[in-house]
Structure 1
Amino acid sequence: MTRRPAPPLPPPKARRHLRETAALTQTQLASRVGVTPGTVRAWESGRTTPRGRKRDAYAKLLKTLADEETARRTTQTPHPESAPEADSAPEPTSGSESAPARKPLPHEPDPVPESAPESTLEPAPEPEPGPEPVPEARPAPVPLTPAQAFDALYEFGAPALVRQTYLLTGRREQAREAVERAFQAAWEHWPEVARDRDPVGWVRATAYEYALSPWQRLRPRHRRPEPPPADPGDRTLLNTLLRLPPRHRRTLVLYDGVGLDLPETAAETEASTPTAANRLLRAREAVAGRLPALADPQVLHRRLAELASNERLGAARPHAVRGDGERRARFWTRAAIAFTAALVGTTALTVRTAPTHYEPPVSPGQAVRGVPPRAAQGSLSDEELELRHKLRDQLQHGPERLSPRLE
């Protein structure tokens, strides 16, 4: 039985554009597809991909929105045949303003202007045919291997991503580690990242999420403070950024630091456009309240770039990052296999040793009274010696032992 192929979907940014063009909110679109608004937000940001029936319904709805947008553009754009003839006709000269020129009939030759010189009436000599130019053969581009493509992406985006992540965390080692972990995740999902329209954005979103994770506070490294920037102005700006809430700080760095537009910033932070705009305004107000000189967005953008560039933040080599990612993947794979084997063994042992029939519980014991206490070991008394001799002298078997008799 063959499985039919999944319907294609436009890129995440195109999905968001179609929804906003149709004037639909994420809640309205989620109700039409039958999912939650958070799921639609994840689809539009590219974090998850719909599957199964939800993918079919989502693709059908996006196709309907795209057809409506195409029809709306067609109705708004004037057809070239409906344009006035005066726009396409050449402007008449001063001598022909009174009467328009007559068009020649199909069987009549084209009219020759009277004022044209005789030299223009003679046919021009045809050029002699020469050898056709042979196009130069260009060498075909050599396709890159996955490792080479990953190394090129790392060398292009890693230095800038380390500086941007430093603005979010204020810690140099944490910024380097976040970027390396993000690239390791990209190498694990390389087929998906290689086909993405913005692979640097994919890595940037992963690095920011790792850097701003609340679990970072529990690490021993987070408890040891790092030396602040040497410049007092950079130190004040960095402290101001770290006082902002993580979401506001991330929105400010993406918009004023990286230079993304508002819809892209909203999509990367998994928020709506009005929410991203509100966070940006709140962050700018907080920065301007402590540093009035940075109230201008252009000045703020320049100062953020200077703060990130003043710190010497290097990145590891791409082959080292790939090697660490592969070793980490092998370790977790072996750990998962070992855990699965232990779980299977424990289950088998439980099934083997489990009772197969009902065993009634043992009744509780009852105290027996009237039994004399056991005497300690020692020499026998006279009565005990007499009783022992009497028992030894009598027969050990027979009815005489059971029948009572008088002495």
Structure 2
Amino acid sequence: MPTLPSPRERRRLREAMAMTERQVATAVGVTRRTVRSWETGRTTPVGRKREAYARLLAAYAAELDQKKRAKRERRPENSRTAPAKKPDTPSAEAPAPAPPPEPLTHNASLKDVLPGEPSPARRPTPSRKKPLNRRPVRTVEEDSRSRQSAQRRKEKAEALAGAAAAEAARLTPAQAFDELYAHASPSLVRQTYLLTGRRTLAQESVERAFQQAWHRWPEVTVDADPAGWVRGTAYDYATAPWHRFRRACRHPDPFTGERDGRALRRTLLDLPPMYRRTLLLHDGLGIGLPETAAETEATTTAATNRLLHAREAVVEQLPDLGDEAVLLERMRELATTVSAPAVATAPAVRLASERRAKFWTRVAIAVTVLIIGATAFTAVTAPARYEPTPAPGQRVGGVPAPKGPQKLDKQDLKLRDTLRAVPLNGPGRLLPRIP
């Protein structure tokens, strides 16, 4: 069976090749929803689809590596033509290189990176014309030094990952699950309560997500972000539309805690569930846009639009949060300080998961036995040979075929009753008279 990269790497390769989900689905022979499910880690391809998908990703990776090698080969040629020594004093003929552009931080406005007119608050001020040489040409020594440092960082990261994997391998599955539960359940129940506004539903969602994680623990352990896997499952269960039919989940719980956070929490609950979830993931937890889009099973553009519309709706209700930095600070503070109910212990969650698995296994066995019994009963009681149905009656010599006793009408019934009421010896006019 061919090996596949991680779901995040699959998405990165597709976006690096500027391919859409529909194009990849057409190349593999599946639907767009299936490709999105593969990139989010919800499902894993099997059989021929897995082989086709692995070949496509391998081709993407090979083409990207080829482009990188070609770019590295062009760099030394440019560095040979560049002067080996920089001038000591700047002159008018060789203007000083401009500093590299400032990297985009997490607090930067999304409207500045999207196509279109930027927001008035972030509108760039007019500046002087920049020189053509924005950054100096790197020499061969600098290029080799940077590659060596990158290789050392990569080796260090691989060593740390190997140490973490070895440490995790020493733990039993129950101990690893207990550590994950102790680490992620308190913050996760606060986030789910902030997402739904209902304490009982938040507690139930987190416990159900960890029960499913224990049931599918081999899949969770190989995931790049086990806490994210549990978070996505809990959010999906908490925002399911069928909860509105439950009497306990029709209305949110009364707000408690600080009065400053009540208005923001009320505004969050007024947003659509997907907008609320995107705003909580990006602004409340500080997750990047690609990761937020993958967790919500949407494209990066759709996640960006949802985030912008959610921010506009919050600012419309709370003008004090018009500054993006203030909104980010309030969302992160609310996600870490909101009071939430306590959840059950890790052994209780594991026991509930095992009981649930046993129950559904017994139900499946009972249904299978019932189907087998019904099939056997039908096979035993069914006729062993074919019995043809009687042929319909036909007219013979103009005489209608006998069809059994006919139904009596009212007149016939009256005559029958009259005849039954007369004595057996008949009426008097039929008896002979003695002279």
TM-score band w.r.t. shorter chain: 0.7 to 0.9
1:222 paired residue number: 249
353, 356, 361: which one aligns with 2:381: 353
Deviations 1:130-174 (A, max 9, x none): xxxxxxxxxx96711110111111111111111111121011111
316, 327, 330: which one aligns with 2:355: 327
Report how far residue 382 of structure 1 moved: 6.9
TM-score, scaled relative to structure 2: 0.69
> What secondary structure does 1:187 align onto?
helix
Q: Distance in 1 between matches of 2:275 and 2:234?
A: 17
Report how far residue 198 of structure 1 moved: 0.7
Structure 1 pair 368–382 and aligned structure 2 pair: CA distance change class (3 A): closer
> What secondary structure does 1:300 align onto?
helix
The residue identity in structure 1 corresponding to 2:248 is R
Report how far residue 236 of structure 1 moved: 1.5
Report how far residue 220 of structure 1 moved: 2.2
Structure 1 pair 366–143 and aligned structure 2 pair: CA distance change class (3 A): same
Report how far residue 351 of structure 1 moved: 3.2
Q: Distance in 2 between matches of 1:297 and 1:365?
A: 93
Q: Distance in 2 between matches of 1:313 and 1:279?
A: 29
Report how far residue 342 of structure 1 moved: 1.8
339, 342, 366: which one aligns with 1:338: 366
Aligned residue runs from structure 1 range 41-120, under 5 A: 41-78=36-73, 84=80
Report how far residue 34 of structure 1 moved: 1.8
TM-score, scaled relative to structure 1: 0.74
> What secondary structure does 1:278 align onto?
helix
Q: Distance in 2 between matches of 1:247 and 1:218?
A: 19
2:216 paired residue number: 189
**Contact 1:256–1:297, Cα closer than 8 Å, also in 2:** no
238, 252, 262: which one aligns with 2:289: 262
Structure 1 pair 24–379 and aligned structure 2 pair: CA distance change class (3 A): closer
Structure 1 pair 383–211 and aligned structure 2 pair: CA distance change class (3 A): closer
Deviations 1:235-279 (A, max 9, x none): 211111111111111111110011110101111111111111000
1:100 paired residue number: none
2:346 paired residue number: 318
Please report the RMSD computed on the Cα atoms of aligned residues, expressed in angstroms: 3.1
Report how far residue 298 of structure 1 moved: 2.8
Q: Following TM superposition, where does structure 1 have runs of at least 4 consecutive aligned residues deviating by more than 4 angstroms?
A: 78-89, 361-365, 368-372, 374-384
**Contact 1:162–1:175, Cα closer than 8 Å, also in 2:** yes
Structure 1 pair 380–249 and aligned structure 2 pair: CA distance change class (3 A): same
2:311 paired residue number: 284
395, 406, 413: which one aligns with 1:366: 406
> What secondary structure does 2:355 align onto?
helix
Larger deviation: 373-382 or 320-329? 373-382
The residue identity in structure 2 corresponding to 1:348 is A
1:250 paired residue number: 277
Aligned residue runs from structure 1 range 79-228, under 5 A: 84=80, 143-223=170-250, 225-228=252-255
Larger deviation: 344-353 or 46-55? 344-353
Q: Distance in 1 between matches of 2:283 and 2:251?
A: 30
Larger deviation: 74-83 or 201-210? 74-83
The residue identity in structure 2 corresponding to 1:74 is R
Report how far residue 375 of structure 1 moved: 7.8
5+ unaligned residues in a row in structure 2: which ranges? 86-165, 393-402, 431-435
Larger deviation: 63-72 or 27-36? 27-36
Q: Distance in 1 between matches of 2:230 and 2:404?
A: 68
Report how far residue 377 of structure 1 moved: 9.6
Q: Distance in 2 between matches of 1:225 and 1:85?
A: 69
**Contact 2:194–2:338, Cα closer than 8 Å, also in 1:** no
> What secondary structure does 1:210 align onto?
helix
Tell whether 2:4 aligns with 1:9: yes
Report how far residue 7 of structure 1 moved: 0.6
Q: How many residues align?
A: 331
Q: Distance in 1 between matches of 2:203 and 2:63?
A: 46
Deviations 1:182-235 (A, max 9, x none): 111111110110011111111111111000001111122113652222433322
The residue identity in structure 1 corresponding to 2:14 is R
Q: Distance in 1 between matches of 2:382 and 2:69?
A: 74
Larger deviation: 280-289 or 371-380? 371-380
Larger deviation: 13-22 or 23-32? 23-32
Larger deviation: 353-362 or 250-259? 353-362
Q: Distance in 2 between matches of 1:307 and 1:323?
A: 32
1:237 paired residue number: 264
Deviations 1:78-107 (A, max 9, x none): 489766499999xxxxxxxxxxxxxxxxxx
The residue identity in structure 1 corresponding to 2:10 is R
Q: Distance in 1 between matches of 2:373 and 2:31?
A: 40
Q: Distance in 2 between matches of 1:272 and 1:223?
A: 31
Structure 1 pair 382–195 and aligned structure 2 pair: CA distance change class (3 A): closer
Structure 1 pair 379–368 and aligned structure 2 pair: CA distance change class (3 A): closer
Q: Distance in 2 between matches of 1:334 and 1:146?
A: 25
5+ unaligned residues in a row in structure 1: which ranges? 1-5, 90-139, 388-407
**Contact 2:193–2:340, Cα closer than 8 Å, also in 1:** no
Structure 1 pair 49–377 and aligned structure 2 pair: CA distance change class (3 A): same
Deviations 1:41-75 (A, max 9, x none): 11111111111111111111110110111111111
Structure 1 pair 56–365 and aligned structure 2 pair: CA distance change class (3 A): farther
1:136 paired residue number: none
**Contact 1:162–1:179, Cα closer than 8 Å, also in 2:** yes
